[in-house]
Chain A
Amino acid sequence: MPSLKLRLPSTPPPGWPSEDRGRLHHESVTARLGSAVGIAFGICFVTGVLSHYQSHPWAWLPPPATPAGGYRFTQGLHVITGFASIPLLLAKLWSVQHKLAQWPPVRSVLHALERASVAVLIATALVQLTTGILNTLQYYPFKWPFASVHYGMAWVVIGALLLHIAVQLPVIRRGLATKLDGPLVDEHGLTRRGAVTGVGVGVGIVGLTTVGQVVGPLAKVALLAPRRPDRAPQQHLPVNRTAAAANVRKTAVSADYRLTVRGTSTRTLTVAQIEAMPAQTRDLSIACVEGWSRGATWTGPSLLDIVAMVGGTADSVVTISSLEKGGFSRSTITAGQLKEALLATHLHGERLTLDHGYPLRLIAPDRKGELQTKWVDTVVVSNV
């Protein structure tokens, strides 16, 4: 299609930067770093979609209750891979830095579109990773809702990445087929093999020094982990939202507190009545959407026993509401998670503290932390 060709002078104008940035800027290096970025982004995307599904499940396919630590694993992997993707993406961009100086900048309309798609990929990937890490730090300097935009942008990033792979596939194959033999350094400096190894070591250190917020035995080397669940001051477990932040400090300890259970009938229970119910003890982890997690021992009445008081069964749809108002004030639980859930009154054998959800909190296996509703005051049973 000759009409789509753009006609630019064959030589760059005076002062145009050189495209020659040395031997490290080679497709053999780019293909390896790009493949690593592709794998990392793929992991983040799949685990992110799983996390999104926990909050927005299809009615006919409820989130499973097994394996109990499933969400802990997938979300831990999501966030740690996200952390590691920051240096990985920067290294990949460095390896293709010389392309900014390529002449002509665009050869045809198709080439312009391809470069535009790369710009979209880079811009969205940088924002996605930056805002993702800021979310784990609970810092929101941007003016949009994090969760829904992070999810929407994930599709844009993965789509632009797939398009980039489709365009570059022959180069990727050629680059991966080029062996990186020889020493890590030689008389000219770092070799291509050395550069890829250096990036691998850097990314590995980021992973190793952050994964301890998920994997307890590695907490001692979690030097860069935003969270240190092993150092939580209350009941050996961090909280993500305090009673003060949720504005429930008075209502949660009020003498007027009652748990209301609605189904085919309505029951109200005092704290003493709840504590007098047969209790079960379960080892279940809290796994936060922000990536940290920690196992804990919970005690309290089975949610199913409470649901049964108003005619509910394991097939019911149960909505749990909190004294807290706002985004995390309600969650729905069904199927396997419902069967295994507790309305916990105790954590590690001690009465729940206010910040951990006193007087009652939901705890169920393989469930997103923000759905483990705290300061529970209402249980509504439907589809009875």
Chain B
Amino acid sequence: MFERVTRGGIGVLGILAAAWGLHLLWVDRPYIKTLNFGEWLISGILLHDLIIANVVLLVGWLLAKLLPPHLRGFVQGALTVIALVGSMAFFVIWRQGTASSPALALLRQNYVANFGIIAAAVVVCTAVLYAFSLRTIRKSRPE
């Protein structure tokens, strides 16, 4: 009973919040190019479901085929971290150097190099963890 009331309450709150948001967007409609807005909404889902999701699936499948079982988990972990950091790095790499003036101190870093440093650090940390795990396995084997 308590859970039903809780779920009902959260649901009603959600519907009211979304309705208020839609009302605000409706008020703004003279300033919104509706077709462009719709394109963005649909593109986000298509980009994710058709491209990003399938690339991830393909990479996972390749790792399973190509890597030995013990190494696979470490590579999966490192790639997960690098890919997630890359999802943010993509934007700053894409727009690097495009700020209108140096006074803004905006997008003036070498993001390709910076992302490389982060990726390299992840690889090194993963390699160290892998080396430790190999050592643990060797030690646990009977002589």
Give me the interface of A with B, judged by CB distance under 8 Å: 21-22, 83-84, 86-87, 90-91, 93-94, 97, 100, 119-120, 122-124, 126-127, 130-131, 133-134, 137-139, 142-145, 148-149, 151-167, 169-170, 184-191, 194-195, 197-199, 201-203, 205-206, 209-210, 223-229, 231-234, 238-240, 242, 244-245, 292, 355
Contact = CB atoms under 8 A, between A and B. Distances in A.
Contact of B15 (A83, A159, A190): A159
Contacts of A90: 48, 52, 84, 87
B18 A144 contact: no
A144 B17 contact: no
Contacts of A199: 80, 84
A148 to B, nearest CB: 5
B140 interface: no
Given A123-B44, A205-B84, A224-B92, 6 more contacts: A152-B24, A156-B25, A189-B72, A190-B80, A201-B81, A205-B85
Contacts of A224: 85, 88-89, 92, 111, 114-115, 118
B51 interface: no
10 contacts: A21-B57, A137-B107, A148-B24, A152-B21, A166-B8, A166-B14, A185-B73, A198-B81, A205-B81, A233-B103
Contacts, number: 257
Contacts of B44: 122-123, 126-127, 130
A169 B18 CA distance: 19
Given A122-B44, A199-B80, A205 B102 contact: no
Contacts of B109: 223, 225, 228
A120 B89 CA distance: 26
Nearest to A120: B18
Nearest to A126: B44
B91 A159 contact: no
Contact of A198 (B41, B45, B77, B118): B77
